[in-house]
Amino acid sequence: MRGMVAGLAVFLAAGVAQADEFPPGAMHDVVAKACTQCHSSSLITSSGKTREDWASTVTTMIGNGANVSDADFDKVVDYLAQSFPAK
């Protein structure tokens, strides 16, 4: 039982560390939670995309189960496009 609790603590701490890799902004928490459920934060932070490409990616990820509401969609896409623009 202690091993399971310790493992959960490490997992949760890793999630917090990953969330800290995203720049501050209004959508920080939404993006960190939605994206790092399935991906490491480095997959997102190392990506550079246009706004249109981020919109396509977010649409695909919502289809795969990412928790981004319709009301937050444009805000999330704007946050990603501003934080991780095409290079």
With a cut of 70, say whether residue 67 has pLDDT above it. Answer: yes
Q: What is residue 47's predicted lDDT score, i.e. its pLDDT?
A: 92
CB 49 within 8 A of CB 78: no
Residues forming a β-bridge with 80: none
Four-residue CA torsion sign, 31, 34, 52, 84: positive
Q: What is residue 21's predicted lDDT score, i.e. its pLDDT?
A: 86
31-63 pLDDT per residue, tens = 999 999 999 999 999 999 999 999 999 999 999
Four-residue CA torsion sign, 66, 75, 81, 50: positive
Q: What is residue 87's predicted lDDT score, i.e. its pLDDT?
A: 85
pTM, entire model: 0.77
Confidence band (pLDDT; 50, 70, 90) for 19? low
CA nearest 19: which of 9, 8, 30? Answer: 30
